[in-house]
């Protein structure tokens, strides 16, 4: 059965394919054009051409066919493994790699690589498309991510994620010079009320807390260390933009690409958790990746 939803044009003059891509989560403009070409977008019962310009108050009926099921395949993709045993595996994910298959990214993901490396030894709790995945990081965010090899390990790590004992520390570069040496952003996050592809600080959203401290200041920029107390979607990116210091390179919550960087300058550098079987405290760190160090070099010498 197809999903049917309605999209209302608020302003006139916008192309319908652009409106659909902006309004429907995980829908690209090319996918919107295919829906239009297939006659699955109508207004007053009539199919809409892909170059149509919207008018105020128009209500578009959009039929989204059910996604064809694709079988997950193991792919021989190199992994930078930081820690591994019979229960967990921790990988230093490169920027640009998607964590699990999604529309537009059916393969080439971390899950495909883990399936090849681990064989059948991955927890099934994450679901068919997310075997072993306990938490996720964005495609253009690099750094440490943990996966579970069995269900008991997955449950234990998920509990640590819920009670905030699974500690994650990131480093990032933000616009502007932070005045204070450290601080906390405690602001609720939910879907943006008018742009469903983005998150935003929204009253009544889920509580989100980010602790930050300055590592170094540059001329117009600040290098930060951020510790997540909660783990909402895009949390650091949304919180830093909320306080007026969006991440360098963040085209969604910040400004246009800068310093030769496409995508946000954000690296998951530290991960601390209690091993689900031995109850040993595991603390892992990774070096800053080359793209990040090159950004710091381009910023010039830090302030004294």
Phi-psi region of 143 (alpha: psi -120 to 50; beta: other; left: phi over 0): left
Nearest to 77 by CA among 99, 107, 108: 108
Residues present in the chain in total: 304
Place of tokens 């105020």: 56
> What distance in Å separates the CA atoms of residue 236 and residue 242, rounded to the nearest whole number?
10
90 and 84 Cβ atoms separated by less than 8 Å = yes
Number of alpha helices (DSSP H) and beta strands (DSSP E) in the chain: 6, 15
Report the C-alpha gap between 33 and 31 in whole angstroms.
5
End-to-end CA distance of the chain: 63
**Cβ atoms of residues 38 and 47 within 8 Å:** no
β-strand pairing of 266-274 with 142-148: parallel
Residue 185 has a CB neighbour count (10 Å cut-off) of 19
Angle between helices 16-23 and 29-37 (to 10 degrees): 120
User: Of 17, 87, 138, 250, which one is the catalytic site residue?
Assistant: 138
Residue 186 is a catalytic residue: no
- Contact 156/200 with Cβ under 8 angstroms? no
**Torsion angle in degrees (nearest 10) through CA of 114, 118, 119, 123:** -80
Active site residues: 138
């Amino acid at each position: 059965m197809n999903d049917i939803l309605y999209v209302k044009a608020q302003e006139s003059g916008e192309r319908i394919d652009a409106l659909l891509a902006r309004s429907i989560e995980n829908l690209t403009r090319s996918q919107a054009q295919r829906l239009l070409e297939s006659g699955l977008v109508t207004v007053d019962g009539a199919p809409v051409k892909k170059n149509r310009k919207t008018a105020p108050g128009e209500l578009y009926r959009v039929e989204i066919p059910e996604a064809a099921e694709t079988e997950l395949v193991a792919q021989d993709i190199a992994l930078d493994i930081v820690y591994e045993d019979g229960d967990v595996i921790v990988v230093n994910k490169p920027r640009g790699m998607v964590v699990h298959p999604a529309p537009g990214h059916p393969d080439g993901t971390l899950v495909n690589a883990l399936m090849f490396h681990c064989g059948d030894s991955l927890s099934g709790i994450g679901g068919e498309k997310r075997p072993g995945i306990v938490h996720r990081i964005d495609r253009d965010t690099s750094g440490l991510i943990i996966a579970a090899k069995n269900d008991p390990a997955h449950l234990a790590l998920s509990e640590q994620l819920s009670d905030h004992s699974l500690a994650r520390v990131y480093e990032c570069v933000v616009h502007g010079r932070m005045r204070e040496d450290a601080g906390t952003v405690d602001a609720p996050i939910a879907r943006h009320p008018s742009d469903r592809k983005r998150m935003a600080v929204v009253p009544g959203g889920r509580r989100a807390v980010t602790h930050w401290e300055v590592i170094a200041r540059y001329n117009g920029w600040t290098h930060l260390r951020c510790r997540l107390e909660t783990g909402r979607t895009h949390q650091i990116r949304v919180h830093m933009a909320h306080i007026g210091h969006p991440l360098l390179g963040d085209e969604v919550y910040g400004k246009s690409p800068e310093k030769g960087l496409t995508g946000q300058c954000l690296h998951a550098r530290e991960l601390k958790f209690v091993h689900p079987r031995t109850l040993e405290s595991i603390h892992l760190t990774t070096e800053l990746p080359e793209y990040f160090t090159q950004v710091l070099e381009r910023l010039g010498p830090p302030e004294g």
